[in-house]
A and B are shown apart, each in its own frame.
Chain A
Amino acid sequence: MNLDEEILKDFLVEAKEGISKLEEEFVELEKDPENVEILKSLFRTMHSLKGASGFFGFKSLESIAHFSEDILAKLRDGLLKPEPEIIDMLLQAVDQIKYIVAHLEEHKQEPIDDRVLEFIVSLSNFTEKLKKRIEGKEEKKEPEEPKIEKIEAEKTAEEKPEHEFIKEEAKEEIKEEAPEVVATPVKEVEKEEKPKDKPQDTSAVLPTKELTETHVKVDVHLLDQLMNLAGELVLARNRVVQLASKFHDADLQRSVQTLSMVTSELQEAIMKTRMQPIGTVFNKFPRIVRDLSRQLGKKVNLKLEGTETELDRSIIEAIKDPLTHLVRNSIDHGIEPPEERVSLGKPEEGLLVMRAYHEGGQVVIEIEDDGRGIDVEKVKRKAIEKGLLDPREAERMSEKEILSFIFKPGFSTAEKVTQVSGRGVGMDVVKTNIEKLGGTIELNTMKGKGTTVRIKIPLTLAIVPALIVTSQGQRFAIPQVSLRELVAINPEKDLLKIGNTDFYRLRGEIIPVLSLSKVLNRPQQSQEKNLVILNAGDRFFGLLVDQIYDSEEIVVKPLGRWFKNIPLYSGATIMGDGKLALILDIVGLMKMLGVALEELEKGLAEEKVLTIEETQFILIFEVGKDNFAVPLAVISRLDKVNSDQITTIGGKEVLLYKGKVIPILRLENYLPISYPEYGEEISVLFFTEREKTVGIICSRIVDTLETTLEVDTTIYQQPGIIGHRIIHDRTVLFLDIFKIIEMFDPEWFVVKRKEEEIIEEPVRILLAEDSPFFQNLIKNYLIQAGFEVDVAENGKVALEKLMQNPEQYSLLITDIEMPVMDGFTLVAEVRKTPQFANLPILVQTSLAGEDIKKKVMELGANAYQVKLDREKVLTTINELLETSKQRISHA
């Protein structure tokens, strides 16, 4: 079914609902003619019918609805009294609408039928007459009116049958009904009797079409109950299947098989009843967008994508309002008026895309516009104005943090409160509503280019795909949304134990590991050998479990109130065999991991954090009495060796490790520290780059902690040390590992590059980076690689430096999260200046993420790398310079 048909189907369902509502309410109205509420409701129903048919271009339907609406408006406003003849006309209109809708359902187009046209004409005349009557009311005396009305009504009523009779010759079926019509108006005018039975009579004017109901409204609770029962049926079936297999009876087997199949199908069908395409919500938007854009004098082209994406009914219901709000926002605040767009060089018509797709067991809904984007400065000003934000604090905040204020209660950027948005329902409500559904909302905006709001919500609140794992024989379910990958490991060998936390190295990234049995506080008997890699937001961690089973669709059931204080479970589910499994809450699990780290962070909180927080796992180790730290990510392996594994070969100290000879580096040889005494057991940190490995010897591994890389660079100014910081009352020196290794082996980092480059003039790179730690580290490894480096502590300074010396820099490297001006803005600003249109830009970040990558590339960056991956950063720089050189020579 294509989209149009889908929309049409929805329209028909809605129209049918509307019709039955109209019929009911007219009847009610006749009983209680003074009830304004009914009139209002009738008006609304008719109005939306008019709007929808207008949208589809169903002219007759629209006209009938239009005139009816007109009359209803007058009734509602008290200009007319709901006299029987008026109601009668309106009911006739409903019958006509019914006829057209039925025709639409069958033929997908409006009927070409004179009777309909004639009715429209008479309805139009009737409306005119009413209008005159209202006008006349002011001049003439009231008593006269009814009379005229009655005569008129008689006329119209009489006219009709005449036409009918002509038609009858062609169509026999109406014959019988038609005479009744003649009788009705007379009866009605003469006696003014109870109008209750009129609907049937008047409907006879047209070949009556009973609208076949293709849809039935069912209470969701009933569906829930059905689903529960189906689940139970499945369990009972399973038991029967088991029992039946004991008897070798062919008949029984066959029956059981049928039972089995029917049960499965039944369950599937019931599950399906709850699922609906998101189109049911999306398809309401063409209308909303059309109305809004007209109202606001804007031109908007709405594109709907992925309308077939299925979602649980309850979620569909719940996202309707938040989506409407977001769309209103986009049109009201986002998309510019046509003239403004033209002057900006944008197409006159704004583009609004509503997109839905499945991603990892979740549904992603995006609302994207190509409007003016969100003005971060304005948001900042507003936040300060509203007292939500301290001005000094604001200076240090990144774009993303400032944008988050949009979701704060009582915040609205609209300069004047328009009728459309800004009605006291802010983005905070949208956010709360989405979060209530277990979803997340995210804003991406680019000034001048547009805004994308991304909502992620679970497919259903009830059914989720989950991985079943065991711990000590008990099953647990892990929602697949959080699942990244599964690794079989040998915990003895593959885990690094530092402090009390285990770590696993997954393709170069160090991730913390939890043991499920430990987390659950159960005695450890078996060894957990399966590692489930999970993520919650940007953070990854591993969960060790005993066994991994299949993935299953599970039905989430809430746990009782007695478990609310345990953050580890998000519910329970009933497995195929009728037994229960607890569903693990990944965010809760991650918090278990965070407890230790948080405490450490708390200790550090007193020190003022001047840089935007970028946390890294750092490894703290001792050499003699001194404490050192390196980012964990640069260390490829940690191990303990026996002192007799270290020997001197050819004047060089080496370690015999796993059949390899690895050179040994003693920090005491390069740094002014006291010579330590090593015991039997020696800890070694392995540093590997391009197949070369060196072992750094230390007395003891102290701990790891996740922390910002903020250091004091003032006291220890010597090669190999970036700075120091007090951690746990101890001075910890942050190593510049690249420098140390260069001191150990000056040839280590020398690659082919130098030979080619020496002839050319030095290449100068501008590095925008706020953290002193990274400033030094990156600067040093760039200098090692033969570059000249200038450092700017934020985007603003970087931009100033560029402007002052436009010719000087061959490349810009920038961090993302920086105070004053962040990397996003910097890249955008640089690209805005024609002079720098071709300046290669490399964006660096401490955490990898596709989203950010996509965004910076869209903004005009040329490459994106993780800071600590020195090798890749250098390769990328060389590639960028190469391309840029070629471009220049071409020009």
Chain B
Amino acid sequence: MDEKKNALALVEGKKGLLKDKHLTLITFYLGDFIFGIPAEKVVEINKDLEITPVPLADEFILGIMNLRGHIVTVMDLQKKIKLQGDLNYRLNLIIKKDNELLSFLVEKIGDIMEVPVAKLEETPDRIEGLDRDYIENIYQLPDRLLLLLNVNKLFEN
């Protein structure tokens, strides 16, 4: 994890220079997909945090957890974006928007990527296996597609 943090710090430093042209993305794996999320939105990546269920909550909400005294909502991203397949969650990816924390479980964290903004493409009308509304853009990696998660949409009710 420390490595991750260092890497993040490094990226933070670089960001200033590349800001205009590049987007720093943290990538992660869920099922057959690789997703990207802007690095500045990510608070931290964490393991084994206990989730307290919240009865009567929407089905895409797993519950809440304690992140050093802050209450974090834990979302079942698979249900939220209607991703199909059996997943093996291992890590909490915690993101932040307007002081509100949201965590979702991912299977594996990938590389941190610098993506030229100009190379981002429109999301196609249909993506097999998930709800395309939650994908902001796509980016063509050499071997596969990177899906940029629409964070604002996740925070919508």
Contacts and interface: CB of A to CB of B under 8 A. Distances in A.
B56 A560 contact: no
A566 B57 contact: yes
Nearest to A568: B56
B71 A564 contact: no
A232 B75 CA distance: 24
Given A228-B68, A572-B64, A580-B66, A559 B55 contact: no
B69 A229 contact: yes
Contacts of A520: 55-56
Interface string B81-107: 000000000000000000011100000
Contacts of A231: 69
Nearest to B60: A562
B56 A561 contact: no
Contacts of B52: 474, 572, 579-582
A718 interface: no
A568 B55 CA distance: 10
Interface in A188-243: 228-229, 231-232
Contact of A563 (B57, B65, B101): B57
B54 A228 contact: no
Interface in B4-51: 50
A560 B64 contact: yes
Interface in A544-586: 557-566, 568-569, 572, 574, 578-582
Nearest to B68: A232
B65 to A, nearest CB: 7
B49 to A, nearest CB: 10
A228 to B, nearest CB: 4
Contact of A557 (B61, B70, B157): B70
Contacts of A228: 68-70
Tell which of B55, B58, B71, B101 has the most Cβ of chain A within 10 Å. Answer: B55
B53 interface: yes
B66 A578 contact: yes
A83 to B, nearest CB: 50
B138 to A, nearest CB: 27
Counting chain A residues whose Cβ lies within 8 A of the other chain, the interface size class is: 20 to 34
A98 to B, nearest CB: 42
B118 to A, nearest CB: 34
A232 B53 contact: no
A582 B61 CA distance: 15
Contact of B157 (A521, A559, A562, A574): A562
Contact of A521 (B55, B65, B71): B55
Contacts of B101: 560
A574 B56 contact: no
A876 B32 CA distance: 80
Contacts of B155: 561
Tell which of A229, A474, A522, A561 has the most Cβ of chain B within 10 Å. Answer: A561
Contact of A474 (B53, B56, B68, B73): B53
A20 B52 CA distance: 50
**Chief secondary structure at chain A's binding surface:** mixed
Contacts of A565: 157
B56 A562 contact: no
Nearest to A227: B69
A559 B71 contact: yes
A474 B70 CA distance: 19
Interface string A759-782: 000000000000000000000000
B69 A561 contact: no
A562 B61 contact: yes
Nearest to B56: A566
A567 to B, nearest CB: 9
Contacts of A559: 54, 64, 71, 73
Contacts of B58: 562
Contacts of A578: 50, 66
A559 B58 CA distance: 14
B100 A232 contact: no
Contacts of A562: 57-58, 61, 73, 75, 157
A572 B71 contact: yes
B54 A574 contact: no
Contacts of B64: 559-560, 572, 580, 582
Contacts of B53: 474
B66 A574 contact: yes
Given A560-B64, A580-B52, A574 B57 contact: no
A224 to B, nearest CB: 10
A574 B52 CA distance: 11
B54 A569 contact: yes
Contact of A560 (B55, B66, B68, B102): B102
B65 A580 contact: yes
B69 A579 contact: no
Contacts of B71: 557-560, 572, 574, 580
A219 B100 CA distance: 21
Interface in B97-132: 100-102
Contact of B56 (A229, A521, A558, A564): A521
Contacts of B66: 574, 578-580
A559 B101 CA distance: 10
B131 to A, nearest CB: 17
B103 to A, nearest CB: 10
Given A229-B69, A579-B66, A561 B100 contact: yes
Nearest to B63: A580
Interface string A812-844: 000000000000000000000000000000000
A874 B66 CA distance: 59
A562 B53 CA distance: 13
Interface string A660-689: 000000000000000000000000000000
Nearest to B97: A561
A559 B56 CA distance: 14
Nearest to B69: A228
A526 to B, nearest CB: 16
Contacts of B61: 562-563
Contacts of A569: 54
A574 B65 CA distance: 9
Contacts of A557: 70-71
A98 B50 CA distance: 57
B54 A563 contact: yes
A228 B55 CA distance: 26
Contacts of A580: 52, 64-66, 71
B157 A561 contact: yes
Interface in A512-566: 520-522, 557-566
Contacts of A232: 68-69
Contacts of A572: 52, 64, 71
Contacts of A574: 66, 69, 71
Of all A-B residue pairs in the complex, the 9 with the closest CB atoms, nearest first, are A560-B73, A520-B55, A228-B69, A580-B52, A557-B71, A566-B56, A232-B69, A572-B71, A231-B69
Given A474-B52, A560-B73, A572-B64, 20 more contacts: A228-B69, A231-B69, A232-B68, A474-B53, A520-B55, A521-B56, A559-B54, A559-B73, A560-B64, A561-B100, A561-B155, A563-B73, A564-B157, A565-B157, A566-B57, A572-B71, A574-B69, A578-B50, A580-B65, A582-B64
25 contacts: A228-B68, A231-B69, A232-B68, A559-B54, A559-B64, A559-B71, A559-B73, A560-B72, A560-B101, A561-B100, A561-B157, A562-B58, A562-B73, A562-B75, A563-B61, A563-B73, A565-B157, A566-B57, A569-B54, A572-B64, A572-B71, A574-B66, A574-B69, A580-B65, A580-B66
